[in-house]
Amino acid sequence: MPPVKELHVNGAARPVDADPARMLLSVLRDDLGLTGAKYGCGEAHCGACTVLLDGRAVRSCTTRVESAAGKKVSTIEGLAVGEKLHAIQEAYIAVGAMQCGYCIPGMIMSALALLTKNPEPTRDEII
């Protein structure tokens, strides 16, 4: 398979030269310098690596970069507009939901995917 030459990340086309079998997380962090998504378990369980792929939450540690080619990738770095944080980021700050901060980007991206799909989820849907 030919290498992936471009990803559409946070609203911009970004050149890459990535083996299609590499994990999206690796390309985002190592090639594009987008370090908001974190490596946690490496098995798609913990969610620290969550990004949106065409609006759907995916675990980037187990998502091959070839499956992101031609799709819109959204990372935590793309949520703020200038100095203006996204409403979900503001909400986390307002209630002090920071813990150590390592998994917060994945939580925020998961929340964004849920709220985009369902603006008024039930407690069970949130859990």
Per residue of the chain (127 residues), give pLDDT as tens. 899 999 999 999 999 999 999 999 999 999 999 999 999 999 999 999 999 999 999 999 999 999 999 999 999 999 999 999 999 999 999 999 887 889 999 999 999 999 999 999 999 998 8
Q: What is the pLDDT of residue 1?
A: 84
Q: What is the pLDDT of residue 105?
A: 95
Q: What is the pLDDT of residue 101?
A: 82
Contact 107, 37 (CB under 8 A): no
Residue 32 in tokens? 């594009």
Task: List phi, psi (to 5°) of 119.
Answer: -65, -20
Q: What is the pLDDT of residue 39?
A: 96
Q: What is the pLDDT of residue 99?
A: 78
**Superfamily of 4-126 according to CATH:** Beta-grasp domain (3.10.20.30)
Q: What is the pLDDT of residue 100?
A: 83
Taking residue 120's Cβ as centre, other Cβ atoms within 10 Å add up to 6
Report the b/e string of 81-102 with b at 16+ CB within 10 A: eeeeebebbeebeeeeeeeeee
Q: What is the pLDDT of residue 127?
A: 86
